[in-house]
Structure 1
Amino acid sequence: MPAPEEQTNSTGNGNSPAPVSSNEFFETIGKKVDHLAPITNGTNGVHQDGGDDEKIVEEVESLSIPYFREVIVMSFSCDKCGFSNNEIQSAGTIQPKGSSYLLRLTAMQDFERTIVKSDTAVVKFIELDLEVPPGRGQLTNVEGLLSGIVNDLELGQEARKEQAPEVYEKIAQIIAKARAMLAGDAFPFRLSVDDPAGNSWISPNMRDGIGKWEKRDYIRTQEQNEALGLSSSDPLPINATQTAPDDDIIPDQVYAFPATCPGCMRPCTTNMKMVDIPHFKAVVLMSTVCQECGYRSNDVKTGGEIPELGKKITLKVESAQDLARDILKSESCSLECPELSLQVNPGTLGGRFTTVEGLLTQVRDDLHAQIFEASGEGGDSLAPDERSKWVAFFSDLDAAIKGEKKFTIILTDPLASSYVQKAVDPDQDDPQMTTEDYQRTDEEEEDLGLKDMKVEGYEQDNNADTTEAN
């Protein structure tokens, strides 16, 4: 079959065939839209050919969002009945992992945060005890999202008042509390967006402190993969070795067990190895490599009992030798560098066992990919002054990685599972590093699930429940 450039088109009048270029053979999307929906004066994009048939046009536009990626914005309107609608779809693919965002609103400016809600995302206003299930994709802000929810709840309230007074009262309470939030009378409160497809997003801010804006990536469950249409019918590999439940894990020995790639849903192998860190504790290194799509991931898991106190480690990095120190940042640990204006919330990078230089490099690469590379130099709506701030931020971060700038790194871990290597003997005090224990806050214990955990007396409670059931 000849290539499209070589195909010919007969003129029908006996003349020699004229060559057809690839651009003429494969029309662009823009030309297709022009053919289907030519914009005419005063017709709102409705092509009128003198007859009675009119085409209702749905406008489609691609938009690049700063710090995120490209999305497709669709807007529909009908001049006959007045119905209008708009929604968004991701212009990319389903991400290898799901993503969960948490924003703590403390001021009216937080209502301006941009939100991308895909059609697979679940939105929660935690203090409002309100959950919005997956549905229409939206590109809006916090104020628009909450206002839309209130408007939807108010629909049918008059009918509920007559038919279901109890439901009417409960919804009225939610509406009143939501309007208090919109008026700024209910700060602080939290907004959560959980998307198994990884295509939703809440915009960050350079001034966000630890606990203000959080992002966490996670491996999807089998049920979530099935809902996204990613289930794989291929059997798991049978050549992967797996330890018996009663076997002890031997340090420095590599174990392999079957897994499913979160990127392509093909069978793959996850390798696990226990490493004993001197003067600290044993940790588990996990690595997954997919031979089909090239997906790679690695993580560090710490074990042992939960300590009574959290731990805060402060290290002054003053030379290249300090950049080479081993560092273990657990998944529950937050990272802060005041001189670099850098703050990393718990769970953002997962567990990492690397060096100080390697940890900063990972932070830089992830941030740079989100802000510049994902949408092409910051997207089409990134303000010049904001872009200059990010350029200065990355310049300072690069200088710190090269050892040209002194800085302080602070690790705060409520589970005391993080570690920084000393530059002196283990039994001596390092003049550049301080370690202090602290009492966990109620919020940290609630986030870790420690408030709901009962380790003493649960046998009696179980026996009492069994007696009552009988």
Structure 2
Amino acid sequence: MSVINEENVRGGGGEQLFKDINAEDDELEPTIVESLCMHCYKDGSTRLLLTKIPFFKEIIISSFSCPHCNWTNTEIQSAGRIQDQGVLYTLKVTSKSDLNREVVKSDSATTRIPELEFEIPAFTQKGALSTIEGLLDRAVAGLEQDQVLRRIQDPEVAAQLDEFIEKLKALKNVESEFSFVIDDPSGNSFIENPLAPQQDPDLTVTRYRRSEAQNSVLGIQEEDPEPELEHPGFVESLKNEVLVFNTNCPECNAPAHTNMKLVQIPHFKEVIIMATNCDSCGHRTNEVKSGGATEEQGTKITLNIAQPIDMSRDLLKSETCSVEIPELDFELGMAALAGKFTTVEGLLKDIKDLVMKNPFTCGDSAVSERGDKLRAFAHKMDAIISGELKARLVLDDPAGNSYIQNICAPDADPQMETEKYTRSYDQNEELGLNDMRTENYQQEEP
């Protein structure tokens, strides 16, 4: 690891530090700073590239080299914000092709292989942009680093490590199925889905709320609890006001304003619409939160898109809602898109943009076959939006807080089917309802 003078990498004069990757941009050149080599303690050089990846936003790629001892070190660091939720990736490696999946592992991520009871704790390795095979090779190299000295000082431990290293190397032959798990409370890690935009049956992605201990490790300060409202009529007054509060832009971190409005959706319930506009970089974002409680039952809404008027139906997708288009074999899990209050057309366009702008499916690393599949998917999405192709849109919300406008209200809509169902134990667990007690929760005095 090299020691870098922080003042050498600061931007001045209002210049944009993080630039988009563009092969034709001559200005996208690394910054070279003089650094101390921690191997021979002589002067070396570090090349820094501050760039933006659409999925990971800002990142810092650094490469150190020492001309005296020829020691090198490369790493990747996330310069973007910590995500609202942590993420847990579980991949079943069943073939050698799975070893070629691209992986982004941040320094706050924990890597596990349950079959070997092997774990790489968080903050013990620097962030890396690699593959499954590359991370296995990195783990083997770390274990073999001091084996020569260990065989002299403690032969018994060295022999046990040699045996374990052989097991790690044997995983690359994929003679038997094993699991590869990445648990990142910052939410900035990623495992490639080669079947995108379809769901990968071997890859499970779970987003979760961080614990207080994880927030403390990440350096996030807990917000103070909101004071109780003294007057019940205060909520009623919010319906006629737009609240404005200060925040930071999620793209450039400049001071910005967020507007919040409480809106009543006809024949449904209250929702909270939040919109952030940044005057510095022009970034805009909006999100919808449910203003009510979690319903007693989940809701599954199926809309048959058959007429152009169906594209203009109002639609509310909560953050706990998954989206499915059976005609395209497409499924979008919960939390992949934030809560949205839009139209059917708006949701379909957002899904198309989310799939097509993912750099791991359409970037320089994408294979031609995958690009053909995505272009075919985009063509079918355009056909659905234009009315050339009939399809079904399915919203499955276990919290029951999603909605599609019924244009025949208060009568039943022949093109739309709404089903209420009882949530499973796993769905209640994901919503945090299994351990929630709202009655008789106070301990009785002895």
For 2:362, the equivalent position in structure 1 comes to: 378
Other structure's SS at 1:304 match: coil
Deviation at 1:225, TM superposition (A): 12
CA shift digits 1:211-238 (9 cap, x unpaired): 945487999x9x989979x99xxxxxxx
For 1:327, the equivalent position in structure 2 comes to: 315
Q: In the aligned structure 2, how far is the partner of 1:148 from the partner of 1:314?
A: 47
Q: In the aligned structure 2, how far is the partner of 1:435 from the partner of 1:395?
A: 29
What fraction of aligned residue pairs are identical, expressed as a percent?
Answer: 33
CA shift digits 1:39-91 (9 cap, x unpaired): xxxxxxxxxxxxxxx998989999999977897474869997xx96653336x
For 1:405, the equivalent position in structure 2 comes to: 389
For 2:132, the equivalent position in structure 1 comes to: 142
Q: Tell me if 1:449 matches 2:415.
A: no
Question: Which has more radius of gyration?
Answer: 1
The answer to whether the Cα contact below 8 Å between 1:105 and 1:111 also exists between their aligned partners in 2 is no
C-alpha root-mean-square deviation of aligned residues, in Å? 5.0
Distance 1:336 1:459, change over 3 A: same
Deviation at 1:298, TM superposition (A): 1.1
Q: In the aligned structure 1, how far is the partner of 2:203 from the partner of 2:50?
A: 30
Deviation at 1:284, TM superposition (A): 0.8
Other structure's SS at 1:98 match: coil
The answer to whether the Cα contact below 8 Å between 1:87 and 1:139 also exists between their aligned partners in 2 is no
With the length of structure 1 as denominator, give the TM-score of the two structures: 0.65
CA shift digits 1:173-225 (9 cap, x unpaired): x99998998867676664334447x5x43222324248945487999x9x989
Q: In the aligned structure 2, how far is the partner of 1:271 from the partner of 1:59?
A: 41
Deviation at 1:280, TM superposition (A): 1.2
The answer to whether the Cα contact below 8 Å between 1:210 and 1:344 also exists between their aligned partners in 2 is no
The answer to whether the Cα contact below 8 Å between 1:324 and 1:357 also exists between their aligned partners in 2 is yes
Residue identity opposite 2:131 in structure 1: N
For 1:202, the equivalent position in structure 2 comes to: 191
Q: In the aligned structure 2, how far is the partner of 1:28 from the partner of 1:209?
A: 35
Question: Where does structure 1 lack aligned partners over 5 or more consecutive residues?
Answer: 1-25, 34-53, 232-241
Residue identity opposite 1:87 in structure 2: T
Deviation at 1:313, TM superposition (A): 1.1
The answer to whether the Cα contact below 8 Å between 2:43 and 2:66 also exists between their aligned partners in 1 is no
Deviation at 1:262, TM superposition (A): 3.3
Q: In the aligned structure 2, how far is the partner of 1:115 from the partner of 1:97?
A: 18
Matches within 5 A, 1:14-29: none
Distance 1:177 1:431, change over 3 A: farther
For 1:310, the equivalent position in structure 2 comes to: 298
For 1:418, the equivalent position in structure 2 comes to: 402
For 1:98, the equivalent position in structure 2 comes to: 83
Q: In the aligned structure 2, how far is the partner of 1:411 from the partner of 1:267?
A: 35
For 1:268, the equivalent position in structure 2 comes to: 256
Match for residue 89 of structure 1 among 76, 89, 107: 76
The answer to whether the Cα contact below 8 Å between 1:333 and 1:413 also exists between their aligned partners in 2 is yes
CA shift digits 1:393-442 (9 cap, x unpaired): 111112212222111111111101111111323242x2221121223233
For 2:183, the equivalent position in structure 1 comes to: 192
Distance 1:137 1:315, change over 3 A: same
Deviation at 1:268, TM superposition (A): 3.0
Distance 1:84 1:142, change over 3 A: farther
Deviation at 1:276, TM superposition (A): 1.0
The answer to whether the Cα contact below 8 Å between 1:255 and 1:273 also exists between their aligned partners in 2 is yes
Q: Tell me if 1:363 matches 2:351.
A: yes
Q: In the aligned structure 1, how far is the partner of 2:381 from the partner of 2:27?
A: 46
Aligned residues: 386
The answer to whether the Cα contact below 8 Å between 1:329 and 1:418 also exists between their aligned partners in 2 is yes
Q: In the aligned structure 2, how far is the partner of 1:457 from the partner of 1:278?
A: 35
Q: In the aligned structure 1, how far is the partner of 2:331 from the partner of 2:200?
A: 7
Q: In the aligned structure 2, how far is the partner of 1:390 from the partner of 1:425?
A: 37
